[in-house]
Amino acid sequence: MKKLIEGDIDLYTYAHYINKKGLSLEELEQSSGLARMFYTASMLVMKKEQMENDIALARLSNPFLEKKK
């Protein structure tokens, strides 16, 4: 599901919106299993992207960081 989201701009847009807006517990409980899977995958995609951005920013701010091989 994560690969599908990362590869499709429309799904990525939905994932971005879901990540920013979120769902209430009631909405989440009422959603289908597939919708919950998409919601979870969306959060993971956005979290991975944020982590990669944070690492890149840390490397820019500290050029003495060693890269792991």
Using one digit for the tens of pLDDT, what is the confidence trace for 10-53?
777 777 777 777 777 788 778 888 888 888 888 888 888 889 99
Q: Would you call 56 exposed, middle or buried from its count of C-beta atoms within 10 A (0-12, 13-18, 19+)?
A: exposed
Residue 23 inside a domain? The answer is yes
Residue 19 inside a domain? The answer is yes
Residue 68 inside a domain? The answer is no
Cut 0.75: pTM above it: no
pLDDT band at 54 (very low <50, low <70, confident <90, very high): very high
Q: Token digits for 38? A: 């998409």
Q: How far apart are CA 39 and CA 50, in angstroms?
A: 17
For residue 22, which phi and psi values (nearest 5 degrees)? 75, 180
Range of the domain at 10: 2-61
> Is residue 69 scored above 60 in pLDDT?
no
On whether the CB atoms of residues 41 and 12 are closer than 8 A, the answer is no
Residue 43 inside a domain? The answer is yes
- Give the model's pLDDT for residue 10: 74
> Is residue 56 scored above 60 in pLDDT?
yes
**Cα 47 → chain centroid:** 4
Number of structural domains found in the chain: 1
